[in-house]
């Protein structure tokens, strides 16, 4: 078994492709050494195989001998020996996993120093201060990382020395004093560990390697991998590399550079460096760094080489690179490189520009694969423009973007403030349809209760308004908002970040939302890739939303929720008249009035989406959603009595109340127990279709029956639609298809029989998730989701990213069974998952024809859909 | 293609086995004719094939010729011709499906009469009155059944004649007057149909056959088949048989007999007959019938023959038979026979006695297969003992048996009345845990809301108390119960039948519940058959219930719900203390107090079930179930203010409120967010196990984790149990296994991974049904179930009979996947379906190890389980 490889080992393939074996860092070190022949200090990489072996069954047999062999070759190459009392070799020991986990894992520098070799180092360099400072750094780092000694204790001796001497700069502590600091540190370590600091360099090395292996399992590393969806079983490689010293003298230095500007994407190198320092000093940010351009002045002899290396790396890796370099006494070394992290804005610009640069010439597919879809979301919304905000509390980031405005605790107050020209943040316990006018007036929405698919969240996302929900620490009352000890009054300013969930009492400066110009180009390339493979539609309920969705690139409407039309201020009284009707003629009159109103709604939507398909879902929610709150009426009855109308509404509200409305008399069930309702909606829709035809338009309507569980139900509902259709001219019939939502587990299981009655399926993955997992979305997200994620009981919030193992199996089953009985079946998804990149990848693999999401997520979905298609085709997918 | 067969056709096999082809009636007529050579009037049977062909594509080609051929042979055998003016043949045309559908389908008698042949009949019989009365009957019946003339109009002429003559008996109308009645009837028919009454006997016959075919699709026949779970695509056979005349004269008569007493099962023939009458007169019940024994006096010449035939039939069919016979001028004919319907009491007695009678010698398997499990339920509970009760309204029969008692509208009042020695029926809008003491005091429970698995229904069934739920027409208020116009006050008497759902205002006489002695024998035979194949356990939550369950034959407890222990009057305050605790020590103190209390509960249960397994489900419901009603507290706050304790409870109730409690923070989720809860329960349980061991007992405990959706959850919960177990002696560890409920669709889908952590699965089919179908049980049963069943949108109430196509697929998947990763996995079901015979058959086929149901359904389940095993093995299953 081979566990370790020299940087110049001949792997037979380009080492950069071996990140799984060598880690990203090791692979690139090998690439720079053996392919690019750059000035890389020599060393070797212990593979991830070794780490996995270590983590499952302990230190691998034979590894110690292999390490000794590689070390011997390194000593020979360098002409120095580890621990040598005359001319010692020092090495760094760094982790390096397949996927970058910056700052998460451990590193040891200057390894090989002991009481003897420190003297050799002093002798060789003629610099006692340098040698003892290096030993001090090594002692501190090794004790902390390898021996687990608490960091604070280890700072003590050096800080005390500086205080004694009345100096602030590390470099101002003389060699003699450093010598005593080193002695004190050894005592601290011996006291903390019960053993003397190990003097044997081989023991130091083995322990350091073990420490790096173990750091893979540290809680912070695990948490990071959870967040980034990196598997826990990859393990890390370990790189052992000869040290070079940027802290040797004033002719030395160290820095980090980017081949382009990682903030803007501009095509000019960017970076920071420090004279007479080691890498950790740059990262620690204690000393002010210099801009890369200062190298031309300080180190004219290497400046040209460095820029040439940057250009070479960028051409070779065909991407913006992040480079660590050190100058030791005027000689340049490259310590590592990797593809650099960048902002969303930069990612888009770099991808598009590199496609146009002849020396790199990314293909469109490569450019599309380079940009993280969540970056697209980021550049479309304003963000907090300050790093250090005072976080009052955090909720769930429910609708992205940031908002600053005056506090309104009621919808009415929000409308008033808005009318007065103020920006408003509406804060409620939770929102209901009665708050909608206030939400419309607000710039941002904040609630104490509710989860990512609560009313507040769904409505806010639909409108692209920032929202934070489920911020449980809010206390609302007496015209004031309290969070712990802090408190503001209505009219005071607060800020929310709907991406991170952060709430700030007071104003925060916002960055403007200006999508980079290159975004349109990139999305057009994405559209080429997914054309005919995976469509992107939007969920929109009215004409303006539909227009906006089309502008965002939506290729139709995947979900038009007709209940939102019922909730409009002028409609609700009619809906209630229908519910309260005691005679058929009263009911019919109310249904007719609704039909008139709905026709106009449909007309606006069909006009906005002319020539593109519009999926209209017939009424879905249980009727009690259109009735006033029972508790409020009970209180009013107790306090002051009810009007006759309220008495009737109270009775109806009690009659239609449900224990579990999610599983109640909704969707097609409501249509079965309330005949005439769907017929009214279908007639309104067909009238609108006819009107569009008369106007020379091209309406394309998909009538969607919600909440079916059996063929019989859909057959019945289909017969209603077909009866209404039979009265229409042929043109209308050609514009209308009929299908159903698949949103109960039974519907998914019985998809074979249901497909016999359906022209299309649309997966309602919100409800399907609720029922498959038994999670009421509002309750689960407010009360248990955080704990469940923290305990690894679920891999991700299943309302954000589809639960592939559970809900996903039902989706796959339904696709297979539905297509088996009806090969022409059209398949889409209109749940919240339609805008989530990881979910989109799943839906593409499951064979759906399109995804549908909020208008504001359409650009994200277009990019994610293209990447999903690239991945399915085995072409370059996103690399990160 | 052959469509018709003479009764004496040689089928090559015993005709009685050909009911699918010939219908039950036709098969038995052929058996009696060709095998038993009994005096059966000759005829032929048109097969169910012909009917199915007719129903799908219209009158089958060739059928008319076949009928003509068979008719010709019948005419030859009888020496008479249909429609002959001198000596006419008359025939009956009767339906006869594979499975009996008494009274549901059509029959025509005396076919072949017309204006000419009626004269021939008069001539031959020398009896004008008889001939014209036969013609009158034929006209009435044919016009109604075949021509669809409304029955009332057809009664007119004959009733007018009797009124004119001032007579009441049909026989008192003289021939001359009958002749004019016949003329008037023909006019009525011509007016109603626009055509003269058909005189051609062949046309009469073809039309009658078509009418019988069509009657298969009549609404009442469809409704009957829905109720009895008979497939709609079987079709009916049609029997054409030579008429004999029990109404010929005083030496004639007709009757229906049973070879044993169908009410008691006693081994003596039983029956009724009428002198000078046709079969319809016996069935119509207009004239008082005579007991069979009277035949010995009136017809001594045939009495012996009839009894011999009864004995012969019973030996031949090896079951109690129901026989229709006619005596024509002293000559005995058998018109049809079938296995007779019987009461539950009789079914049990007959099955057990026939096993002991050498000439019949049923095997135990045959005896077990003979008894309908629902019959067992009937004989275990008291029933309404009056046929004509005044039904005030109907609800859902939620817990079988009948109860009569005084009206109590509150739990408190029920307790008072009960304490005063009164029988009580508790009537509530719906029940909640706070009503439990009143439910315990009541003899029966009636609610306006809720379905078959509502709180009221589940608790009542658990205790074997009659209950009717979801009686929507109840109006409760002001100390009175109103149903439509009727009204009673608290303290007045009402009656309910928990089997049929009937509610009566006033007292109804009840039949006592005395299980027949033979039941124990029969159930013992059932136990032999299912031994080692399918166990039967009970759901029981306390010592007395467990004792009762064991007495009923339960082989363990499949579900002990620990939340019922939390709801006891002395526990609820402690539970609330735990919920309200603001400091860890307060919470711990409350948990300790609960542990003490639960230990005693567990001890009692383990003692009652010593040596048998007891599945203890750790706490399942969401915490708000232990808190007071929010609405009530809000009202009290508005009216009179709240105490400090109420303020705290109000806050907690709001905090723990859930939108959809069914999908909320329940089961293992609660344990995750409320650490210490399950640990407390497990420690209480293990203490009880240890105490039982010390007392020399044999406790066997299965710790069941509810509501899991993933391996990770169960692994976490399992670790809590195992930690507690590790502190116990080895004996305890050997007595405890750990498993989970499978009650979410995800758990079923992920059964493979979950089984790695489970010693057993128990399917919670109530919740699994709710989530798979998206039916909230309370809401769905109250609001839409009836409409859904009526429109054939679902085949059965899925909370009564498991939804095999949806929920059933998940159960089968979970069984396969669970056993694949853990072949030792024990599998049971503890939902309400565990007591439903059709569901039990499914569970047996799915490979479960046991079913568990309410103690009072255990005998039903034992029988149903045995029948399921017989059916799986291809041995005789129940015949009906």
Cα–Cα dist B269/B321, whole Å: 10
Compute the Cα dihedral for A747, A751, A752, A755 and give only its sign: positive
Min mean pLDDT across A417-421, A853-857, B159-163 is at: A417-421
Q: Which residues of A touch B630 (CB under 8 A)?
A: 631
Average pLDDT, chain A: 91
Cα–Cα dist A604/A613, whole Å: 14
In this complex, do A663 and B660 lie within 8 Å of one another by their Cβ atoms? yes
In this complex, do B662 and A664 lie within 8 Å of one another by their Cβ atoms? no
C-beta of residue A224 within 8 angstroms of C-beta of residue A55? no
Question: First and final CA of chain B: distance in angstroms?
Answer: 29
> Could you give the angle at the alpha carbon of B324 between the alpha carbons of B323 and B328, nearest 5°?
135
**How close does chain A come to B411, measured CA to CA in Å?**
22
In this complex, do A791 and B767 lie within 8 Å of one another by their Cβ atoms? no
- Chain B's closest residue to A750, CA to CA, is B806
Q: Which residues of B touch A794 (CB under 8 A)?
A: 709-710, 712
The average pLDDT across A634-641 equals: 85
Please give the positions of B annotated as active site. 455, 830
In this complex, do B784 and A745 lie within 8 Å of one another by their Cβ atoms? no
Nearest CB among B658, B713, B744 relative to A772 is that of B744
pLDDT, residue B876, reads: 67
**How close does chain A come to B772, measured CA to CA in Å?**
5
C-beta of residue A238 within 8 angstroms of C-beta of residue A66? no
In this complex, do B672 and A803 lie within 8 Å of one another by their Cβ atoms? no
| Higher pLDDT pick, A246 / A852 | A852
**How close does chain A come to B452, measured CA to CA in Å?**
15
- Calculate the alpha carbon distances from B619 to A339, B410, B416, B564, B567 in Å: 52, 28, 32, 9, 12
In this complex, do A771 and B712 lie within 8 Å of one another by their Cβ atoms? no
pLDDT, residue B337, reads: 94
- Calculate the alpha carbon distances from B10 to A197, B31, B35, B95 in Å: 106, 10, 10, 22
Catalytic residue among A375, A381, A455, A624: A455
In a mutational test of the A interface, the residue from B623, B663, B750, B810 whose CB has the highest number of chain A CBs within 10 Å is B663
Cα–Cα dist A871/A379, whole Å: 24
Cα–Cα dist A607/A602, whole Å: 8
Cα–Cα dist A451/A784, whole Å: 10
The average pLDDT across A699-713 equals: 96
**How close does chain A come to B790, measured CA to CA in Å?**
11
- Chain A's closest residue to B717, CA to CA, is A793
**Positions in chain B whose pLDDT score sits under 70:** 227, 280-288, 433, 453, 462, 512-514, 782, 876-880
pLDDT, residue A780, reads: 76
> Could you give the angle at the alpha carbon of A837 between the alpha carbons of A836 and A838, nearest 5°?
95
Q: Which residues of B touch A710 (CB under 8 A)?
A: 793-794
pLDDT, residue A226, reads: 75
**How close does chain B come to A215, measured CA to CA in Å?**
24
Quick count: other Cβ atoms within 10 Å of Cβ A388?
5
The average pLDDT across A674-681 equals: 91
Question: First and final CA of chain A: distance in angstroms?
Answer: 29
ipTM of the predicted assembly exceeds 0.85: no
C-beta of residue A670 within 8 angstroms of C-beta of residue A677? yes
Strands A383-384 and A510-511: antiparallel
Span A535-577, pLDDT tens digits: 999 999 999 999 999 999 999 999 999 988 888 778 888 999 9
Q: Which residues of A touch B472 (CB under 8 A)?
A: none
Cα–Cα dist B829/B835, whole Å: 10
In this complex, do B806 and A712 lie within 8 Å of one another by their Cβ atoms? no
**How close does chain A come to B114, measured CA to CA in Å?**
47
pLDDT, residue B880, reads: 46
In percent, the amount of chain A with pLDDT more than 90 equals 65
In this complex, do B779 and A664 lie within 8 Å of one another by their Cβ atoms? yes
Quick count: other Cβ atoms within 10 Å of Cβ A768?
30
- Chain B's closest residue to A810, CA to CA, is B749
In this complex, do B780 and A661 lie within 8 Å of one another by their Cβ atoms? no
Q: Which residues of B touch A776 (CB under 8 A)?
A: 658-664
In this complex, do B659 and A710 lie within 8 Å of one another by their Cβ atoms? no
pLDDT, residue B558, reads: 98
Phi, psi of A4 (to 5 degrees): -135, 150
Nearest CB among A630, A665, A792 relative to B779 is that of A665
Residue from A71, A83, A80 nearest A43 by CA: A71
In this complex, do A659 and B776 lie within 8 Å of one another by their Cβ atoms? yes
Cα–Cα dist A207/A449, whole Å: 50
Phi, psi of A285 (to 5 degrees): 70, 25
- The answer to whether A232 is a known catalytic residue is no
pLDDT, residue B376, reads: 83
Min mean pLDDT across A70-84, A787-801, A836-850 is at: A787-801
| Higher pLDDT pick, A379 / B59 | B59
Nearest CB among B709, B745, B791 relative to A716 is that of B791
Span A228-238, pLDDT tens digits: 778 888 999 99
Block residue for tokens 């003590």: A156
> Could you give the angle at the alpha carbon of A861 between the alpha carbons of A857 and A864, nearest 5°?
140
**How close does chain B come to A787, measured CA to CA in Å?**
7
The average pLDDT across A83-101 equals: 92
Q: Which residues of A touch B749 (CB under 8 A)?
A: 772, 805-806, 809-810
In this complex, do B806 and A665 lie within 8 Å of one another by their Cβ atoms? no
B373 burial via Cβ count (<10 Å: 0-12, 13-18, 19+):
buried
Q: Which residues of B touch A629 (CB under 8 A)?
A: none
Tokens representing B193 are: 């149909």
In this complex, do A634 and B635 lie within 8 Å of one another by their Cβ atoms? yes
In this complex, do A779 and B659 lie within 8 Å of one another by their Cβ atoms? yes
Cα–Cα dist A263/A163, whole Å: 39
Q: Which residues of A touch B745 (CB under 8 A)?
A: 745, 771-772, 774, 806, 810
| Higher pLDDT pick, A436 / B118 | B118
Q: Which residues of A touch B746 (CB under 8 A)?
A: 772-774, 803, 805-807
**How close does chain B come to A118, measured CA to CA in Å?**
51
pLDDT, residue A431, reads: 85
Number of CB pairs, chain A paired with chain B, less than 8 A apart: 187
pLDDT, residue A344, reads: 81
Q: Which residues of A touch B806 (CB under 8 A)?
A: 709, 745-746, 749-750
Catalytic residue among A51, A321, A560, A830: A830
pLDDT, residue B445, reads: 95
């Amino acid at each position: 078994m081979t566990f370790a490889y020299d940087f110049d080992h001949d792997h037979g393939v380009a080492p950069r492709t071996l990140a799984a074996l060598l880690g990203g860092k090791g692979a690139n070190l090998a690439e720079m050494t053996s392919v690019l022949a750059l000035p890389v200090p020599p060393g070797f990489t212990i593979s991830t195989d070794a780490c996995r072996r270590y983590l499952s069954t302990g230190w691998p047999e034979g590894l110690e001998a292999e390490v000794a062999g590689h070390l011997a070759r390194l000593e020979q190459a360098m002409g120095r020996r580890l621990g040598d009392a005359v001319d010692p070799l020092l090495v760094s020991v760094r982790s390096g996993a397949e996927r970058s986990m910056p700052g998460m894992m451990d590193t040891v520098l200057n390894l090989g120093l002991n009481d003897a070799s420190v003297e050799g180092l002093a002798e060789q360099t003629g610099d006692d201060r340098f040698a003892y400072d290096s030993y001090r750094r090594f002692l501190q780092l090794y004790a902390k990382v390898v021996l687990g000694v608490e960091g604070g204790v280890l700072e003590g001796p050096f800080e005390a020395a500086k205080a004694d001497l009345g100096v602030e700069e590390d470099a101002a502590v003389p060699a003699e004093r450093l010598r005593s600091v080193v002695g004190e540190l050894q005592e601290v370590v011996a006291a903390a560990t019960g053993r003397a600091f190990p003097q044997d360099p081989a023991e130091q090395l083995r322990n350091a390697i073990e420490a790096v292996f173990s750091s893979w399992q540290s809680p912070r590393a695990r948490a990071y991998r959870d967040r980034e969806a990196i598997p826990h079983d990859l393990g890390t490689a370990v790189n052992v590399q000869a040290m070079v010293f940027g802290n040797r003298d004033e002719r030395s230095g160290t820095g980090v550079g980017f081949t382009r500007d990682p903030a803007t994407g501009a095509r000019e190198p960017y970076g920071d460096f420090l004279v007479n320092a080691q890498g950790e000093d740059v990262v620690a940010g204690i000393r002010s760094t210099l801009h890369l351009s200062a190298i031309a002045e300080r180190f004219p002899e290497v400046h040209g080489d460095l820029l040439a290396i940057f250009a070479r790396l960028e051409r070779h890796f065909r991407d913006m690179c992040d480079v660590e370099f050190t100058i030791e006494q005027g000689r340049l070394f490259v310590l590592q490189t990797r593809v650099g992290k960048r902002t969303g804005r930069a990612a888009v610009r770099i991808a598009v520009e590199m496609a146009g640069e002849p020396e790199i010439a990314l293909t469109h597919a490569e450019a599309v694969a380079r940009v993280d879809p969540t970056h697209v979301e980021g550049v479309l919304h304003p963000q907090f423009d300050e790093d250090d905000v005072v976080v009052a509390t955090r909720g769930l980031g429910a609708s992205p973007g940031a908002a600053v405005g005056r506090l309104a605790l009621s919808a009415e107050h929000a409308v008033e403030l808005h009318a007065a020209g103020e920006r408003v943040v509406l804060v409620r316990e939770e929102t209901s349809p009665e708050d909608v006018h206030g939400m419309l007036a607000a710039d941002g929405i904040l609630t104490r209760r509710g989860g990512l698919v609560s009313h507040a969240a769904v409505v806010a996302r639909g409108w692209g308004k920032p929202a934070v929900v489920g911020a449980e620490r809010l206390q609302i009352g007496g015209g004031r908002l309290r969070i712990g000890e802090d408190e503001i009054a209505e009219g005071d300013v607060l800020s929310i970040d709907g991406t991170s969930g952060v709430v700030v009492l007071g104003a925060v400066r916002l960055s403007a939302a200006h999508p980079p110009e290159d975004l349109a180009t990139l999305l057009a390339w994405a559209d080429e890739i997914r054309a005919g493979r995976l469509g992107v539609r939007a969920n929109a309920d009215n004409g303006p939303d539909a227009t906006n969705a089309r502008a965002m690139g939506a290729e139709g409407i995947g979900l038009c929720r007709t209940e939102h039309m019922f909730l409009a201020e002028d409609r609700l009284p009619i809906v209630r008249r229908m519910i309260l009707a005691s005679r058929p003629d009263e009911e019919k009159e109310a249904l007719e009035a609704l039909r008139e109103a709905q026709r106009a709604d449909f007309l606006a939507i069909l006009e906005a989406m002319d020539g593109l398909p519009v999926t209209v879902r017939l009424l879905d929610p249980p009727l009690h959603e259109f009735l006033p709150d029972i508790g409020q009426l009970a209180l009013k009855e107790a306090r002051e009595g009810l009007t006759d109308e309220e008495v009737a509404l109270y009775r109806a509200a009690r009659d239609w109340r449900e224990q579990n409305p999610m599983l109640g008399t909704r969707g097609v069930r409501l249509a079965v127990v309330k005949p005439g309702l769907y017929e009214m909606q279908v007639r309104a829709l067909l009238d609108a279709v006819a009107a569009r035809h008369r106007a020379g338009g091209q309406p394309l309507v998909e009538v969607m029956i919600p909440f079916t569980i059996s063929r019989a139900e859909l057959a019945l509902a289909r017969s209603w639609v077909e009866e209404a259709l039979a009265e229409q001219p042929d043109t209308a019939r050609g514009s209308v298809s009929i299908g159903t939502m698949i949103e109960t587990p039974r519907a998914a299981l019985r998809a074979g029989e249901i497909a016999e009655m359906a022209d299309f399926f649309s997966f309602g993955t919100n409800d399907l998730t609720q029922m498959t997992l038994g999670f009421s979305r509002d309750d689960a997200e407010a009360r248990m989701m955080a704990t469940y994620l923290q305990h690894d009981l679920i891999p991700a919030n299943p309302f954000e990213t589809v639960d592939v193992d559970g809900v996903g199996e039902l989706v796959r089953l339904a696709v297979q069974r539905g297509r088996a009985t009806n090969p022409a079946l059209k398949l889409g998804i209109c749940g919240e998952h339609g805008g989530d990149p990881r979910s989109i990848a799943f839906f593409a693999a499951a064979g759906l024809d399109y995804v549908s999401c909020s208008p504001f997520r359409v650009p994200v979905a277009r990019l994610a859909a293209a990447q999903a298609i690239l991945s399915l085709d085995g072409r370059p997918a996103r690399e990160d």
